[in-house]
Amino acid sequence: MKTHWKVFSILVVSCLLFLAGCNSIRPQITEAPTSAPTTLAEPTLTPTPTKDIDADWWKTAVFYEIFVRSFNDSDGDGIGDFNGITAKLDYLNDGDPTTDTDLGITGIWLMPIFPSPSYHGYDVTDYMAVNAQYGTMDDFRNLLSEAHKRGIHIIIDFVINHTSTQHPWFKSAQDKDSPFRDYYIWSETNPGYAGPWGQVVWIPSTTGYYYALFWDQMPDLNFRNPSVTQEIYNTSRFWLEDIGVDGFRVDAARHLVEDGEVQTNTPETHDWFKGWRTFYKSINPNAMTIGEIWDSTSSVAKYLQGDELDLAFNFDLADAWISGVSGGSSSTLNFIYEYEFARTKDTLFATFLTNHDMNRVMSQLNGDLEKAKLAATLMLTFPGVPFIYYGEEIGMSGTKPDEDLRRPMQWSGETNAGFSSGNPWRDPYKDYMTVNVVEQDTDPDSLLNHYRELIHLRIDNPAFLNGELLAVDADNSRVIAFIREDADHTFLIMANLSNQDVVNVGLTLEKSQMTGTLAPQILLGQGTPVGLTVDENGAFSGYVPVPELTAKSAVILQLR
């Protein structure tokens, strides 16, 4: 990168790290906040190893996040269900690698499926059952079986930081003499400090103050109590061994164990994940865990560089993609690529654009279809394991409140967007008659088919799955460029982030595995590619891949 971008990077990193720090969540786990133990007791481990299947399958997966309540309703009660998802599996992946009419998804993350008094399910009342509104356990087993037939793995949201106040454990914990009292965090008096966002976290009750980071109806579990850890181990075994899920997405992972007013990323939290990993890998060595760690890239990486989680979401990168595409400048993206990934080069992150807690991509981009395509191109050609939020591939809109980020999937322009024959739990977005799967299915220029093309391109070319990322310097700040390369292939991605066409943009690369004179081919985008000759280091300078790059567009070139 050029020197002036490096100067700008220093300023940007300070801002990003400061903002990431403001996103913290959750306090301590001890009856007396000033006398918390410094280590966690180990629970009983009784592992039962299972057969080895496809090790590290997630490293080459493309995931799809589903809110069950909103995906597809099979019985007309207005609530999405397991059978509804099963009926739509061929849309995600038909199991035939020779077709390209499916989306190409190879992993599904299901938002909470446990019984819960809330629509969202993040306040659990039973960890070893499914929400009856979504169907039966047999329905879920059938979904799992049908997904596996198509080569789709399923992970479930594991909400273990807290339970519902309606959970039997918490109901019993109201009694000071109950063995479940220490399953939660109590204090006789109000410790007097607030949560990471200034929120009230110590909630008064008739038997003392209990700690609840997110909401007074979600009391935090006490992971300093080995009995709590044993409960979660038992639950992990149940879902991995008895039911057969492929892994867990851990909600609020950085808030698991607090140390007084230190409410995020404590050493005890890292220690807990190390112990849990030993346990669940003994149950199924190929089980995958991914953490929600809403923090800076450097903080997230610490959960991935030891024996803790397999994956974690990269929130900095998601913000950079959206802001870069929205603002039309490569500066922030150049910083992320050069600074953050240089420091975490060998770390595998989960990548995404938005999720169920964030305004949808299309809303953030003010309905601009070409910018939405551009954001998808950047994410699906970048290193990492991509996660697509349901409906993102057709450009569904939605801004907070959260219920509006989680509206029903827009399958067609029919009544209720084809989601349900009954009254949906929440109305589809107003644009469903034109923004839906049926409308976009046969349109070669649609966002849906853009996603299909990118995902199949990614899956068919290993360099996109596990190849190296090489930073390419563009002599125009409106353009971002990078290379994905493995031993056999080299791909160049070049994107014009701005609202104006650009011409004769020169690119510079310091080193690669390329040799000699090359004849590039365009795999995606428009233009006539220009030949390239590299030096003995595989480097080039001032290379103009295509004479013109139209506004808000990208090209993917196969160089080697």
CATH of the domain at 326: 3.20.20.80
- Answer whether residue 219 is part of any domain: no
Same domain, 342 and 478: no
Q: Quick one: 83 and 104 in the same domain?
A: yes
Is the same domain home to 514 and 472?
yes
Rounded-to-integer distance, Cα 399 and Cα 458, Å: 30
Residues 409 and 472 in one domain: no
From the candidates 65, 268, 292, 295, give the one annotated as an active-site residue: 292
| DSSP 8-state symbol, 242 | I
Task: Please give the Cα distance from 51 to 49 (Å, whole number).
Answer: 7
Which helix H or strand E contains 4, and what residues bound it?
Answer: helix 3-21
Active-site annotation holder among 102, 231, 246, 251: 251
Return the axis-axis angle of helices 226-237 and 267-283, rounded to nearest 10°.
30
Number of domains in the chain: 2
Q: What is the pLDDT of residue 40?
A: 52
CB count within 10 Å of CB 320 equals 23
**Same-domain status, 387 and 428:** yes
Which of 445, 462, 479 terminates a domain? The answer is 462
Domain containing residue 416: 45-163+224-462
Whether 187 is covered by a domain: the verdict is no
pLDDT tens-digit profile, the chain (560 residues)? 433 333 333 333 333 333 333 333 333 333 333 223 334 544 544 444 443 447 899 999 999 999 999 999 999 999 999 999 999 999 999 999 999 999 999 999 999 999 999 999 999 999 999 999 999 999 999 999 999 999 999 999 999 999 999 999 999 999 999 999 999 999 999 999 999 999 999 999 999 999 999 999 999 999 999 999 999 999 999 999 999 999 999 999 999 999 999 999 999 999 999 999 999 999 999 999 999 999 999 899 999 987 999 999 999 999 999 999 999 988 888 888 777 777 777 789 999 999 999 999 999 999 999 999 999 999 999 999 999 999 999 999 999 999 999 999 999 999 999 999 999 999 999 999 999 999 999 999 999 999 999 999 999 999 999 999 998 999 999 999 999 999 999 999 999 999 999 999 999 999 999 999 999 999 999 999 999 999 999 999 999 999 999 999 999 999 99
Instruction: Please name which of 538, 530, 484 lies closest in space to residue 506, comparing C-alpha atoms.
Output: 530
278 part of a folded domain: yes
CATH number assigned to the domain comprising residue 512: 2.60.40.1180
In-domain check, residue 174:
no
State whether 491 and 418 are in the same domain: no
Residue 545 to residue 194: CA distance in whole angstroms: 55
Supply the DSSP string of 395-463, one letter for each residue.
T----SSHHHHSPPP---SSGGGGS-SS--SSPPPTTTTTSSHHHHHT-TTSHHHHHHHHHHHHHH-HH
376 and 492 together in one domain: no
Q: Please report the sign of the dihedral spanned by the C-alpha atoms of residue 421, residue 118, residue 88, residue 243.
A: negative
For residue 16, what pLDDT is reported?
Answer: 37
Instruction: Identify the sign of the CA torsion 258, 228, 253, 206.
Output: negative
Whether 473 and 451 map to the same domain: the answer is no
CB atoms within 10 A of CB 160: 24
Question: What does the pLDDT read at residue 332?
Answer: 83
Q: Quick check: helix, strand or coil at residue 78?
A: coil
251 is catalytic: yes
Concerning whether 241 is annotated as a catalytic residue, the answer is no
Rounded-to-integer distance, Cα 543 and Cα 526, Å: 17
Predicted pLDDT at 22? 36
Tokens of 441: 């299915």
Tell me: do 472 and 430 sit in the same domain. Answer: no
Residues 432 and 481 in one domain: no
16 inside domain: no
Domain's final residue, options 434, 462, 490: 462
pLDDT (0 to 100) of residue 19: 36
DSSP 336: I
Structure tokens at 355: 């999720």
CB 38 within 8 A of CB 30: no
Last residue of a domain, one of 399, 434, 462: 462
Report if residue 493 sits inside a domain: yes
Q: Do 451 and 534 have their domain in common?
A: no
Listed in sequence order, the residues at least 6 apart from 178 whose beta carbon sits closer than 8 Å to its beta carbon are: 172
Distance CA(433)–CA(523), nearest Å, equals: 32
